[in-house]
């Protein structure tokens, strides 16, 4: 029973933090809240092969695929430059 509660809470959490991706891609917001279907839809939004959904099920590979998928979604939504995130801001000293 605790496992089912954990799965429901996890699905609600993931849906809450990602439903804007679905709406921005002209998908329905409810698709973000269905546990395996949301991964399938994200793979389709990123225009990647369907077998990527199965790669999410492999323990260590799933974490790596999540990072890769976020990178792919940045490209789909035209956030191509991440230089401003990785470089520290350069400040000139006050004279």
CA torsion, ordered 82, 25, 54, 57, to nearest 10 deg:
70
Instruction: Outline where 1-95 has alpha helix (H).
Output: 2-24, 35-45, 52-55, 59-76, 83-86
Over the stretch 54-94, which tens digit does the pLDDT of each residue have? 998 899 999 999 899 888 888 888 776 555 555 555 555 55
Q: What's the CA gap between 15 and 12, in Å, rounded? A: 5
CB 61, CB 68: distance < 8 Å = no
Q: What's the CA gap between 30 and 20, in Å, rounded? A: 11
Over the stretch 17-64, which tens digit does the pLDDT of each residue have? 888 888 888 999 999 888 889 999 999 998 999 999 999 889 999 999
How many other CB atoms are there within 10 angstroms of residue 14's CB atom?
16
């Amino acid at each position: 029973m605790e496992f089912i509660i954990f799965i429901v809470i996890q699905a609600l959490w993931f849906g809450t933090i990602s439903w804007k991706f679905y709406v921005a891609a002209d998908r329905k917001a409810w698709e973000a809240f269905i546990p395996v279907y949301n991964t399938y839809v994200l793979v389709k939004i990123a225009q990647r092969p369907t077998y990527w959904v199965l790669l999410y099920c492999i323990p260590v590979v799933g974490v790596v695929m999540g990072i890769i998928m976020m990178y792919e979604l940045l490209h789909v939504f035209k956030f191509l430059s991440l230089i401003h995130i990785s470089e520290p801001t350069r400040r000139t000293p006050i004279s």
